A and B are shown apart, each in its own frame.
Chain A
């Protein structure tokens, strides 16, 4: 049988397996196994065991559970309250006022947590009721939160960048640094949009509150200083080359425990809950990575990705045309799959194509995460939508409609990093460990 026909069958098989509700990791393993048995004379079982053993036993990957745990601890601390109380006095006089708390709060929490679900839930728990009580339009409040919650994926530490780094053997430290500026740029885009929106929709904004004197503002913010210290410590030590991501993460866990203890939220129950939550979430991700590692190797044996790459290469597309096609493909895929699955499917099958097109793999990681961020707010499958549905009781389609402007802003951000790759690449190139 022709290789392209087999590739088509395998692709369809994967989609059918996923649609039937087979767990993502299992679908990856199953398709990889089917490809090996059908196409290759190498014994599939031993290759499966050896590959997954090699992929699962990794120092770099150890950063994954550590950062997840850190997010779980902080999610259970007082950070949610402190963030609202500390940020809101500064935002009162900007156009868009307290809506900016959602965006900046998410940006700050994203810098201690690698997950967009944790970011959305932590910030929203406090800000949604507060904004509602003060008479802000609920639709824009939920929309800003849905959009800026996705920053958790891009601003380091980022779970999905660890997944990408582990799957493509790129430096996680460099990927983290590459995410900083694009993340900050997204924050600025979101805040600009909110300011603009509030000027156009004055009728939907509540009456202005009095400004608070500078010293009082500082006093209200003082509880945020430990978090800012945590951010500077974790990201700064990676940037300066003082610590590997795993080390920074383990120190981050310790400091988060101290912070949680200091604010009186560290109990036996919260400790155990956070630890068990982190254990299960990281197990889920490690299982998917195991499936992806085997799929990558199986695909390598079959030669399908190479064929695909040379087929695309023969079309002589410009990198821009390729990126437009890929973006459309990912957005559609992202409507039905979670971000991590999109990333691992990409790395197993289309990475040779990306290399063939001459794209930098660190840059491509940031591009991919930006596109995956969009998938967090596209129905019917989008984790931020699920979290917000749980918090507000609105169904995911109406949450998605409120988040639509932010989806469009993310497309703008993708265009910007394609036009100015330096946005992603400048910081990793200037890292002190070079």
Chain B
């Protein structure tokens, strides 16, 4: 069970990272196409009109994937920002209670959000909504990805809630920080 859950979080975060790689590659292709066309123009040739169609929209959708699929992995790596002054100042029993509270509130909110994101996706599906660009993309796909990301996030929060309530340490406090700049601005 532990192993399956961890692989779920890892797979989700890895997919998020892939979204970033795809965004970067598409944008670089677009710029190279423009530079190539510019060069053709210099030599008096017709520009080929090389471009990635609907790039702005596709990149926006991929960004949604990158942001939401990484939620669980970011939580478990202790990278979501919180004010921890009080947590560090109070005795550990109170700290545990505050952690239970924070995780429970977040888990409730994330599930609520996932539920409504799911309905948003369902509505887009039933009204057949698409993006406005050259390539019309059904909005249901990126919205389902957003919902899935929120679901994985909710699962990971529930996982942590069980972990603390059974006397364990929450994942985000057990992290050994090896990258001094991650999760900071």
Contact = CB atoms under 8 A, between A and B. Distances in A.
Whether chains A and B associate is yes
Interface of A: 18-26, 29-30, 33, 45-46, 48-50, 52-53, 56-59, 61-62, 65-66, 69, 71-72, 75, 115-118, 121, 153, 159-160, 243, 246-247, 249-251, 253-254, 273, 275-288, 290, 336-341, 380-381, 383, 386-387, 390-391
Contact of A30 (B27, B28, B77, B105): B105
17 contacts: A22-B105, A33-B109, A45-B115, A45-B116, A56-B63, A57-B60, A61-B60, A62-B27, A118-B181, A246-B27, A251-B28, A279-B17, A280-B70, A280-B73, A282-B66, A288-B81, A338-B81
Given A23-B106, A26-B105, A387-B181, A57 B142 contact: yes
Interface residues of B, number: 61
B23 A66 contact: yes
Contacts of B102: 20-23, 26
A330 to B, nearest CB: 15
Which of B17, B24, B28 neighbours the largest number of chain A CB atoms within 10 Å of its CB?
A: B24
Contact of B98 (A20, A33, A46, A287): A20
A49 B70 contact: no
B46 interface: no
Say whether chain A's binding surface is mostly helix, strand, loop, or mixed: helix
B74 A284 contact: yes
A48 B57 CA distance: 21
Contact of A117 (B68, B83, B185): B185
A273 B178 CA distance: 10
B181 A49 contact: no
A23 B184 contact: no
A163 to B, nearest CB: 9
B171 interface: no
Interface string B36-57: 0000000000000000000011
Contacts of B158: none
Contact of A340 (B23, B117, B185): B185
A277 B73 CA distance: 11
Contacts of B60: 57-59, 61-62
B120 A275 contact: no
B141 to A, nearest CB: 12
| B interface, over-half SS | helix
A393 to B, nearest CB: 13
Contacts of A21: 82-84, 86-87, 98-99, 102
A23 B81 contact: yes
* 5 A-B pairs with the lowest CB-CB distances in the bound complex, closest first: A117-B184, A250-B27, A286-B67, A283-B70, A45-B116
Contacts of A19: 83, 85-86
B112 to A, nearest CB: 7
Nearest to B182: A277
Interface string B12-48: 0100110011011001101100000000000000000
B83 A381 contact: yes
B183 interface: yes
Contacts of B70: 279-280, 282-283
A386 B184 contact: yes
B71 interface: yes
Contacts of B113: 29, 48-49, 52
Nearest to A125: B180
B45 to A, nearest CB: 20
Nearest to B21: A275
Contacts of A75: 181
B83 A337 contact: yes
Given A19-B83, A48-B116, A59-B56, A283 B180 contact: no
B26 to A, nearest CB: 8
Contact of B184 (A26, A251, A387): A387
Contact of A246 (B13, B59, B73, B105): B59
Given A19-B86, A279-B13, A72 B181 contact: yes
Contacts of B56: 59
B152 interface: no
Given A53-B120, A279-B66, A273 B179 contact: yes
B183 A284 contact: yes
Contact of B20 (A25, A254, A279, A390): A279
B115 to A, nearest CB: 7
A277 B181 contact: yes
Nearest to B97: A20
Contacts of B120: 46, 49-50, 53
Contact of B74 (A22, A30, A283, A390): A283
Contacts of B183: 280-281, 284
B31 A243 contact: yes
Contacts of A25: 80-81
Given A117-B184, A250-B28, A279-B70, A284 B20 contact: no
